[in-house]
Amino acid sequence: MTDLSPPAALDRDRIRELFDLRSSYNSFSGGDYTDDPYPVWHELRARAAVHEGTVHRLTGYPGEAMFQGLPFPDRPHFSVFGFEACDAAFRDSETFASSPVAINPIGDDVGVMNSMLSMGGDQHRRYRALVQPSFVPAKAKWWIVNWIQETVQDLVDRIAGDGRAELNTDFCAAIPVLTITGSFGVPVDQALVIRESLRDPAAVVRILAPIVAARRESPSDDLISVLVQAELKEADGTTHTLSDAEIYSFAILLLTAGSGTTWKQMGITLTALLQRPEVLAAVREDRTLLKACVEESVRWLPTDPMFSRHVTRDVDFYGTTLPKGSVLHMCLGAAGRDPERWDRPDEFDPYRPLKRSLGFGGGPHICLGMHLARAEITTGINALLDRLPNLRLDPDAEQPRYVGLYERGATEIPVLFG
């Protein structure tokens, strides 16, 4: 049986390169942005419901920043910063599509944009239904027992005797990538390789192909087996299993989303708690408060603060005509601090009444793995509080800051314990 547990020699330097937002690997999304964008976003929201231009240009970022819905230089671009407008766009998936061109059928091309991310309507519902049962709240224990818990405990083992640690890249970053690759049957020594290769689908396929072939012969209790055995029901009532290309595209989408967001949100949540010792002490005493802290962090500082939609028809949207073919950018970070919806929106306050935010998106394409992300974050932080007594920020080290534009997260989180 393949050993999927994290080895002691897991390459920390490689993790830091791949998961530091300021590194060259992440620079394309504005990883060098170090300002606080929220004052500008507040001003833009107050000035108008819809603005012409992209979020990064309107924020004052001088370079090019790429993310979902960008660059498309030949299309008109518009941005919205309020909760109501962002929510409305998410809910109207016919007018505001997730892809400029719907894919039907998928074909043999492999990649994120050839997955259900680019589907709409009934096609999207049918494909999403294949994997949705593996990501519902009731499946959290399956993930925790099979992959999350062992990964978390092994990572804590590596630092528990040191009295100090850096928790962002050395702990938070490793958990999601090892969880999702573990659920595919990818050995740990290839986990970072597959993360680094996400922009090269052919390289990912070379790793996944023997696993998919093995699961077709002998299914196991893992996510690739779920995809191999899934039966897709077509509109005419016929059913068929997924092709290898469809499975690879599914896998790359899950790898991209699963290893690229949760670690940042875990770091944001952990930093917010460490910077508020009284809240951290309350969570240590009553772990049920951790759920509220996670939800508040997703509202207060979502790790992906912008997503985009493609306008499929001429439409008047909050007083502005959006032409067919234009791109609408929804600034979810700003929407989460809309004073029309939340009192004291700039404060991190896990005791506030819970209201739905858009940190996990909305509408038919709401984040598939949001319950898995919650399970990873809560399991990870609980393990730190269980095993690292008197956990606190290291006062002599550089304090964590929030950086990044289209992908936001914390810098190093240096801590002492014991």
Q: Which domain holds residue 257?
A: 24-389+403-409
Map tokens 């009934």 to a residue. Answer: 122
Backbone angles phi, psi at 331, to 5 degrees: -85, 90
Which of the four pLDDT bands, split at 50, 70 and 90, describes residue 24? low
d(CA 133, CA 248): 19
The answer to whether position 13 is within a domain reads: no
Asked whether residue 418 is domain-assigned, the answer is no
Tell me the pLDDT band of 7, cut-offs 50, 70 and 90: very low
pLDDT at 355 over 70: yes
Which pLDDT score, from 0 to 100, does residue 14 have? 80
Can you give the length of the chain in residues? 418
pLDDT given at position 282 = 98
Q: What is the pLDDT of residues 120-162, one digit of tens each?
A: 888 888 888 888 888 889 898 999 999 999 999 999 999 999 9
pLDDT confidence band for 2 (50 / 70 / 90): very low
Q: Are 133 and 169 in contact (CB under 8 A)?
A: no
Q: Is 17 among the domain residues?
A: no
CA of 131: how far to CAs of 119, 241, 401, in Å?
A: 15, 13, 36
- Identify whether 12 is part of a domain: no
pTM for the full predicted model:
0.92
Interacting residues of 43 by C-beta distance below 8 A, sequence separation 6+: none
Sign of CA dihedral 351, 355, 358, 364: positive
One-letter amino acid at 300 equals W
Q: Is residue 18 part of a domain?
A: no
Tens of pLDDT, residues 362-396: 998 899 899 999 999 999 999 999 999 999 999 99
Higher pLDDT, 67 or 233: 67
Q: How many CA atoms lie within 13 A of 91 on its CB side?
A: 6
How is residue 204 written in tokens? 């990912």
Residue 68 lies in a domain: yes
Residue 108 pLDDT greater than 70, yes or no: no
Number of domains in the chain: 1
Instruction: Determine, yes or no, domain membership for 159.
Output: yes
- With vertex at residue 112, the alpha carbon angle to CA 72 and CA 29, rounded to the nearest 5 degrees, is 55
Euclidean distance between CA atoms 326 and 157, whole angstroms: 51
Phi, psi for residue 409 in degrees, rounded to 5: -165, 180
* Residue 33 lies inside a defined structural domain of this protein: yes
* Residue 328 near residue 309 (C-beta atoms within 8 A): yes
Report the CATH number that the domain containing residue 88 is assigned in CATH: 1.10.630.10
Average pLDDT over residues 214-218: 95
